[in-house]
């Protein structure tokens, strides 16, 4: 039995879905349990019957407790919206015509560049609160709608501001290699020189991001161009990840794995060689069913091959204005099951321990176990499947961040 200290807090009489892979029970489920929290960490998980009397105990009355949810791929910060553009597309206007009119990603870049930090913060807060109300306690936020040094820095500083103002952990990612800005149209390599030689080293030196992302795709950057960015990042000691194999098969996942990247995201066109490379290096597959749905795609990621090779599968919202405007991780979990064939237990692992690994936090986040941060959710629900089965209903009872109710 863990030696209790006077300031410890016991969260008792709970049904724990620990998501601990060392447990054989589905979801790592344990009944009649208690969590002992010291400061901001879980120091023990003990049966209710072994608890001594303690002045600081909270009776959860048999409620379900899970780890806090982790949304490991979002584009939460941007100016404007693309609702009118989406309507035009549904009315038959082609993407090429919209782009020629200044639509697409460059419309969001223009709106983001023109927005003040205060405006971007206010807009992002609305989206963030919706995710927090569903139980999200850790979130990744990418830049990538600035595409120059000042605007990329502005976006990343807004991400840090959100972390300071809200009870949530933010993992900021530099996605300067998201698209070629209009001022470099026709010369992507010159733009990547700016990314590699100015934007990335300057913002890394300021401690504004944790990892570098690249949109490696036939409408983005080639594998050779992506490798150039990864080489520059690696030289600075920066972890890498990437948007890969979403619309075509370029070999981006294998490239990420060669650089021991954190995650390969989207991966609808991932082939067997890419799966094997990811399995060998421990690269996480991040599934993004919101974009798959919104774009009415048909090519599903190779979930069965990922299972067979033991590649961890995370699930995220991919919240963004162009292809996945869904600030609901519960909905993403449901979509991952319905569209991609994940089991509900796999979806839960995908928004907890596997999402934690995708953000380099696998040893500290995403499980209810000793040594993990005390981020957890108390639900008015009998079983974790309920949040996957019925995403419109949110049975959240309490959200605990770093051991405190928020």
Are residues 334 and 370 both part of a single domain? no
Distance CA 35, CA 27 (A): 17
Q: Which 8-state DSSP code applies to residue 182?
A: G
> Are residue 52 and residue 142 in the same domain, yes or no?
no
Measured distance CA(232)–CA(113) in Å, rounded: 25
pLDDT, one tens digit per residue, over 258-284 is 999 999 999 999 999 999 999 999 999
Do 119 and 87 belong to one domain?
yes
In a domain, 90, yes or no: yes
Residue 2: inside a domain: no
Q: Which of 287, 153, 144, 160 is nearest to 229 (CA)?
A: 144
DSSP string, 361-379: -TTTSSS-STTSB--EEEE
Residue recorded with tokens 């982790």: 70
Q: What is the DSSP secondary structure assignment for residue 320, as one 8-state letter? A: B
Residue 3 forms part of a structural domain: no
Are residues 124 and 18 part of one domain? no
- Residues 177, 212, single domain; the answer is yes
Q: Are residues 312 and 380 in the same domain?
A: no
Q: Are residues 235 and 310 in the same domain?
A: yes
Residue with tokens 């806090």: 68
Identify whether 292 is part of a domain. Answer: yes
Strands (DSSP E) found in 169-293:
169-177, 211-215, 240-244, 263-266, 284-287
- pLDDT (tens digit, 0 to 9) for every residue of the chain, 406 residues total? 568 898 999 999 999 999 999 999 999 999 999 999 999 999 999 999 988 778 789 999 999 999 999 999 999 999 999 999 999 989 998 766 777 777 788 899 999 999 999 999 999 999 999 999 999 999 999 999 999 999 999 999 999 999 999 999 999 999 999 999 999 999 999 999 999 999 999 999 999 999 999 999 998 999 999 999 999 999 999 999 999 999 999 999 999 999 999 999 999 999 999 999 999 999 999 999 999 999 999 999 999 999 999 999 999 999 999 999 999 999 999 999 999 999 999 999 999 999 999 999 999 999 999 999 999 999 999 999 999 999 999 999 999 999 999 9
β-bridge mates for residue 23, sequence order: none
1 is a domain residue: no
Tens of pLDDT, residues 142-184? 999 999 999 999 999 999 999 999 999 999 999 999 999 999 9
- Burial annotation 131-143 (CB, 10 A radius, 16+ → b, else e): bbebbbbbbbbbb
Q: How many domains does the chain have?
A: 2
Answer yes or no: is 268 within a domain: yes
Cβ-based burial of 88 (10 A; exposed 0-12, middle 13-18, buried ≥19): middle
Residues 44 and 125 in one domain: no
Domain span at residue 288?
A: 70-358
Q: In which residue are the tokens 């927005």 written?
A: 115
Q: Answer yes or no: do 172 and 198 share one domain.
A: yes
Q: Which residues contact 20 (CB under 8 A, 6 or more apart)?
A: 28, 367, 368, 369
Phi, psi of 303 (to 5 degrees): -60, -40
User: Does residue 369 contact residue 20 with C-beta atoms inside 8 Å?
Assistant: yes
Closest C-alpha to 286, from 322, 329, 326, 250: 329
Indicate whether 105 and 236 sit together in one domain.
yes
For residues 294 and 324, membership in a common domain is answered with yes
Region of residue 85 (left: phi > 0; alpha: psi -120 to 50; beta: else): alpha
Structural domain includes residue 75: yes
Instruction: Identify whether residues 344 and 370 lie together within a single domain.
Output: no
User: Which CATH number does the domain housing residue 32 bear?
Assistant: 2.30.40.10
CATH classification of the domain holding 278: 3.20.20.140
Instruction: Judge whether 4 lies within some domain.
Output: no
């Amino acid at each position: 039995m863990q030696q209790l200290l006077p300031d410890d807090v016991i969260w008792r009489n709970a049904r724990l879905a620990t998501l601990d892979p060392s447990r054989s029970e589905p979801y790592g489920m344990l009944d009649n349990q208690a969590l002992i929290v010291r400061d901001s960490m879980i120091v023990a998980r003990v049966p209710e019957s072994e608890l001594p009397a303690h002045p600081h105990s909270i009776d959860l009355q048999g409620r379900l407790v899970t780890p806090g949810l982790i949304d490991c791929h979002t584009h939460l910060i941007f100016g404007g919206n693309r609702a009118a553009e989406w309507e035009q597309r549904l009315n038959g206007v082609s993407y090429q015509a919209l782009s020629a009119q200044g639509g697409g990603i460059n419309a969001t870049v223009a709106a983001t560049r023109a927005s003040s930090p205060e405006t971007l913060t206010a807009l992002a807060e609305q989206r963030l609160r919706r995710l927090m109300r569903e139980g999200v306690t850790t979130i990744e936020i990418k830049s990538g709608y600035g595409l120059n040094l000042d605007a990329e820095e502005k976006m990343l500083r807004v991400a840090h501001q959100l972390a300071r103002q809200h009870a949530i952990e933010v993992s900021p990612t530099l996605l300067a290699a998201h698209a070629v800005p209009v001022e470099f149209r026709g010369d992507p390599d010159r733009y990547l020189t700016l990314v590699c030689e100015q934007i990335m080293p300057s913002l890394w030196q300021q401690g504004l991001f944790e990892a570098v992302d690249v949109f490696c795709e036939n409408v983005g950057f080639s594998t050779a161009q992506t490798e150039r960015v990864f080489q520059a990042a690696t030289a600075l000691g920066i972890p890498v990840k990437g948007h890969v194999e979403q619309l075509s098969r370029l070999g981006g996942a294998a490239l990420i794995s060669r650089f021991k990247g954190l995650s390969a995201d989207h991966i609808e066109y991932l082939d067997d060689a890419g799966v094997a490379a990811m399995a060998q290096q421990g690269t996480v597959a991040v599934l993004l069913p919101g974009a798959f749905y919104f774009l009415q795609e048909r090519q599903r990621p190779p979930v069965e091959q990922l299972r067979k090779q033991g590649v961890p599968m995370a699930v995220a919202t991919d919240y963004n204005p162009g292809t996945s405007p869904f600030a609901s991780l519960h909905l993403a979990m449901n979509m991952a099951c319905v569209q991609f064939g994940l089991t509900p237990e796999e979806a839960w692992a995908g928004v907890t321990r596997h999402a934690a690994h995708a953000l380099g936090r696998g040893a500290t986040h995403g499980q209810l176990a000793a040594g993990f941060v005390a981020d957890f959710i108390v639900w008015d629900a009998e079983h974790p499947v309920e949040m996957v089965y019925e995403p419109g209903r949110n049975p959240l009872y309490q959200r605990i961040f770093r051991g405190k109710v928020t």
